[in-house]
C-alpha cells in the first residue's frame, strides 16, 4: 500500500505547487492599478504569462501551427490544409 499512497501524496504536492504558481501569477497581474480587470481577462493574462515560453518555442519550431492558429482566429470558418 505504501507505493500507492506515495503516488497520491506526490500528485497532491504537484497539484498544490501548481495552484500556488497560478495564484502567484494572478497576484502579479492583478495589482492595485488593475483592480478593474474582469475574471475572464485575468484568466487569459495568466494563461498567456504561464505559457509564454511554450508559445515562443512553438512559434520558432512549428511556424505552420502558429499560422493555422492565427488564421482560425481571424476566420472561424477556416479549414486546415490536409
In 3D space, the residue among 50, 44, 55, 48 whose CA is nearest the CA of residue 24 turns out to be 50
Please, what's the largest Cα pairwise distance for the chain?
53
* CA distances, 4 to each of 7, 11, 29, 81 (Å): 5, 11, 38, 45
In the prediction, which pLDDT does 46 show? 92
In the prediction, which pLDDT does 42 show? 92
Cα 59 to its chain centre, rounded Å, is 15
If residue 75 lies in a helix (H) or strand (E), which one and from where to where? none
Reported confidence tier of residue 72, pLDDT bands at 50, 70, 90: confident
In this prediction the pTM is 0.59
Amino acid at each position: 500500500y505504501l507505493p500507492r499512497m506515495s503516488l497520491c501524496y506526490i500528485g497532491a504536492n504537484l497539484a498544490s505547487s501548481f495552484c500556488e504558481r497560478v495564484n502567484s501569477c494572478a497576484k502579479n497581474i492583478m495589482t492595485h492599478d488593475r483592480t478593474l480587470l474582469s475574471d475572464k481577462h485575468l484568466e487569459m493574462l495568466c494563461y498567456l504569462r504561464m505559457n509564454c515560453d511554450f508559445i515562443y518555442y512553438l512559434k520558432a519550431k512549428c511556424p505552420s501551427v502558429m499560422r493555422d492558429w492565427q488564421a482560425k482566429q481571424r476566420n472561424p470558418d477556416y479549414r486546415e490544409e490536409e
